[in-house]
């Protein structure tokens, strides 16, 4: 009998699995019901190359300018041993700004096991006083793979707890930031919180020492002056745990996948498209910002109500085809018993639209 590991290797074509990072793990939670994505990510398939191979390349990612700007802002915030950063974090947490906080740089070494050991020792050392840890190397198991994670910073022993600090270059204008970017930062931070909690638990410490309140540091308005805010990531932690647990149960996941399913990049595009079409996907417009296969799935969902978004799909009561929606709205099709309420709403909406177009009052 083929083991799960062998099956996953066959799916990706026997090449080494593509490693996850905090961004890709965070993206897993955006559509936890998508079997297609869960299988591909469990197998470590290179989804950007797969999307390009089948003719639907991904169209998102950070520009070089954004990366350069982000690196410059991070360096500015961390200057002088993190003095300004410590003040921002302490004030946002509502605690006195500690004097003489230690700064430990855990980055730079290429030897991952050595760097992980240095991070483990530093973060679990029961020292006293405030401390800041720059680029600690954490770990998390994803579908049987050990993934290395590198947060921007971990602030420790402030108010008796650890706080993950995320430094982002998107601006906070008049006290408001782009909600989509804030949401992405929250789920990415939840990945770090979970990894740090697991590290402490493995060393016999209370994982609740790691606060679910993440400190987000961004530039204020159109200047580079940093401002800190708090993100409560408890909800994101719940979603993240559920999805990681689901991927850990890979046998159950693979049971719904055809035995000959392949995402081998050496296969011809037509074979790959046919294979992907046999594994259930749950496309939604939000996928366009998070999944490399979203443009293929959108093309595949054309004519289906899934392409209109989850709220519309749910409001339509499970009516799958757009053509059926239009037929019910026009009254040329008799609804199924479970479609009666949705059909009535559709007919009412059609009448309102007709009245609006003719100028007649509703």
Tens of pLDDT, residues 201-224: 999 999 999 999 999 999 998 788
- % of the chain residues with pLDDT over 90: 31
Q: Is the pLDDT of residue 200 over 80?
A: yes
For residue 215, give the 3-state DSSP assignment. strand
* CA–CA dist 164, 132 (Å, integer): 10
Q: Where are the domains of the chain?
A: 4-17+26-58+249-302, 64-240, 308-358
Closest by CA position to 93, among listed 101, 83, 85? 85
Q: Is the pLDDT of residue 255 over 90?
A: no
For residue 124, give the 3-state DSSP assignment. coil
List Cβ neighbours of 129 (8 Å cut-off, separation of 6 or more).
98, 100, 101, 102, 157
Structure confidence by residue, pLDDT tens digits, 262-274: 999 999 999 999 9
For residues 94-103, average pLDDT? 85
Q: In this structure, what is the dihedral angle of CA atoms 277, 279, 282, 287, given to the nearest 10 degrees?
A: -70
For residues 55-82, average pLDDT? 82
Q: In this structure, what is the dihedral angle of CA atoms 318, 322, 326, 332, given to the nearest 10 degrees?
A: -70
Structure confidence by residue, pLDDT tens digits, 10-33: 999 978 888 777 887 887 777 777
- pLDDT for 223 equals 80
Neighbour-count burial of 13, counting CB atoms closer than 10 A to its CB (0-12 exposed, 13-18 middle, 19+ buried):
middle
Q: Is the pLDDT of residue 1 over 50?
A: no
- pLDDT for 337 equals 63
- pLDDT for 25 equals 82
The two beta strands, 153-158 and 161-167, are: antiparallel
Q: Is the pLDDT of residue 157 over 90?
A: no
Q: Output DSSP code: residue 307.
A: G
CATH of domain 64-240: 3.90.320
Which helix or strand (DSSP H or E) is residue 218 part of?
strand 213-219
Nearest-5° angle of CA 198, CA 201, CA 205? 140
Query: Among the listed ranges 32-36, 120-124, 277-281, which one has the minimum average pLDDT value?
Result: 32-36
Q: Is the pLDDT of residue 325 over 80?
A: no
CB atoms inside a 10 Å sphere around CB 2: 11
- pLDDT for 268 equals 94
For residue 102, give the 3-state DSSP assignment. strand
Helices assigned H by DSSP within the chain: 4-12, 22-28, 35-43, 47-53, 64-77, 79-93, 112-123, 179-202, 234-248, 250-254, 269-276, 294-300, 310-315, 322-330, 340-358
Q: Binning pLDDT at 50, 70 and 90, where does residue 114 land?
A: confident
* CA–CA dist 310, 46 (Å, integer): 27
Closest by CA position to 305, among listed 318, 295, 290, 294? 318
- pLDDT for 251 equals 81
- pLDDT for 323 equals 67
Q: Binning pLDDT at 50, 70 and 90, where does residue 353 land?
A: confident
For residues 327-354, average pLDDT? 68
Which helix or strand (DSSP H or E) is residue 217 part of?
strand 213-219
Check residue 143 and give left, alpha or beta (phi > 0: left; psi -120 to 50: alpha). Answer: left
Q: Is the pLDDT of residue 252 over 90?
A: no
């Amino acid at each position: 009998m083929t083991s799960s590991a062998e099956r996953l290797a066959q799916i990706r074509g026997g090449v080494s699995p593509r490693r996850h990072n905090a961004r890709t793990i965070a993206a897993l939670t955006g559509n936890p019901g998508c079997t297609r994505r869960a299988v591909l990510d469990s197998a470590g398939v290179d989804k950007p190359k797969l999307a390009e191979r089948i003719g639907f390349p991904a169209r998102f990612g950070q520009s070089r300018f954004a990366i350069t700007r982000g690196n410059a802002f991070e360096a500015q915030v961390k200057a002088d041993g993190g003095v300004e950063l410590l003040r921002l974090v302490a004030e946002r947490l509502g605690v006195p700004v500690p004097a003489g906080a230690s700064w430990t740089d855990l980055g730079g070494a290429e030897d991952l096991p050595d760097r992980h050991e240095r991070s483990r020792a530093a973060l679990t050392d029961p020292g006293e006083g405030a401390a800041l840890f720059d680029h600690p190397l954490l770990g998390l198991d994803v579908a049987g793979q050990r993934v290395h994670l590198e947060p921007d910073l971990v602030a420790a022993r402030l108010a008796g707890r650890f706080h993950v600090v995320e430094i982002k270059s998107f601006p906070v204008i008049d006290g408001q930031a782009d909600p989509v970017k804030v949401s992405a930062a929250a789920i990415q931070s939840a990945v770090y919180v979970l990894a740090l909690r697991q590290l402490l638990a493995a060393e016999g410490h209370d994982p609740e020492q790691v606060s679910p309140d993440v400190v987000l540091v961004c530039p204020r308005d159109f200047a580079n002056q940093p401002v800190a805010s708090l993100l409560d990531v408890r909800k994101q932690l719940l979603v993240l745990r559920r999805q990681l647990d689901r991927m850990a149960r890979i046998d159950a996941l693979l049971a719904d996948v055809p035995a000959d399913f392949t995402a081998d990049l050496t296969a011809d595009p037509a074979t790959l498209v046919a294979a992907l079409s046999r594994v259930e996907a749950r496309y939604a417009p939000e996928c366009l910002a998070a999944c490399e296969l979203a443009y293929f799935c959108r093309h595949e969902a054309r004519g289906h109500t899934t392409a209109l978004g989850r709220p519309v799909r749910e409001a339509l009561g499970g009516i799958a085809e757009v053509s059926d929606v239009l037929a019910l709205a026009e009254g040329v099709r008799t609804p199924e018993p479970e479609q009666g309420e949705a059909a009535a709403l559709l007919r009412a909406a059609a009448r309102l639209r007709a009245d609006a177009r003719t100028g007649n009052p509703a």
